[in-house]
Amino acid sequence: MTRVVKVKLDGRSYDVVIGTGLIGEAGGRLGGLLPRRRTVIVTDATVEPLHAGLLTESLERAGICAARVVLEPGEQTKSWEGLADLSDRLLALNLDRGDVILALGGGVVGDLAGFAAAIYKRGIDVVQIPTTLLAQVDSSVGGKTAIDTPRGKNLIGAFHQPRAVLADLSTLASLPQREMRCGYAEVIKYGLLGDRPFFDWLEANGPRVLAGEPDALLHAVARSVESKAQIVAEDEREAGARALLNLGHTFGHALEAETGFGEALKHGEAVAIGMVMAFRFSAALGHCSEADAARAERAIAAAGLATGAQGLPGWPYPADRLIDHMAHDKKAEGGRLTLILARAIGSAFVAKAVEVDQVRTFLAREGAKL
């Protein structure tokens, strides 16, 4: 079964196709976007042996020639150096502005290839073919592309919408369980921020999603993409409602910065901890009930995700250093902290100008150093 979700943008709408076997059908599905019958597949050394061959074969059957650029896997590739290297390799292939890049991989590949497409010869098209659960429900949809810097995550980037997204659920069968849990953190985020019935469904069906049961997985991915597509259509450039998608991210990005954006704490794991912290902070400020904060934490813990920073290397971190990371985060405006907080499960809101002293007190209660 295949589901199609349209991201509706004036003059730039595109389809997110969700189903199984899509990579093997890519040539037929994408041929109309490739008038020169040539493309380049940007992938990484982990994904290439798993899926790049099948994608190349499908394109060749449709008469499309595909070059291949293979990146080193890992968050460290999403950097100035990684962007320069990818841009140079694309230039060496002599792509022109009518060509299309195919981003085959997880969030790192999608972000880096998308950003490179945004700036290559002032912009060429990209198709996202996400191969992780996290990328399928989040980073491949909506056009946000970026690299990391020593000062923070995703601080340099561009909005560059894809021409299409192919979310092939078959690719998830090869994912380690840790990667599935990371993606599930972003799935449950949609329930927590604005879809209480979906959260209720996940409480009952989360184990089926994590186990890769086809019907549960299709529903979870499709519902997540529908939620994101609706928000992106309302607020493409994060001037309002789209900021809600950052639930858990400002706390989470601070923890990622402390752990070096590496394997010690993956992005989905950081978001999971960050969402728990956001609900706890909301409860501490009286915005939501302690019962809802506890229920959100239980649902995240039930997926096998950490709900606190206590097990992270080097913990406890200084509260003021975490606050510095949060202030540098892209959700900060005018030096004041902007956080996504909650009034209840399924009801998040943007809290602007949050007092730093309140955050410091909360972080100390969480165990950070004063």
Which residues are known catalytic residues?
Answer: 122, 144, 186, 228, 238, 242, 246, 249, 253, 267
Residue (of 278, 279, 252) closest to 265 by Cα position:
252
Token output for 7 = 């991201």
Q: Is the preceding peptide bond at 197 cis, omega within 30 degrees of 0?
A: no
Residue written as token pair 């949609």: 190
Asked if 327 contacts 335 with a C-beta cutoff of 8 angstroms, the reply is: yes
How far apart CA 280 and CA 198 sit, in angstroms, is 21
Residue 79, class by beta-carbon neighbours within 10 Å (0-12 exposed, 13-18 middle, 19+ buried)? Answer: middle
**63 backbone dihedrals φ, ψ, rounded to 5°:** 80, 25
Q: Which amino acid is at 27?
A: G
Residue (of 104, 113, 186) closest to 145 by Cα position:
113
Asked if 164 contacts 30 with a C-beta cutoff of 8 angstroms, the reply is: yes
Q: Encode 292-326: b = buried (16+ Cβ within 10 Å), e = exposed.
A: bbebbbebbeebebbbebeebeebbbebeebbebb
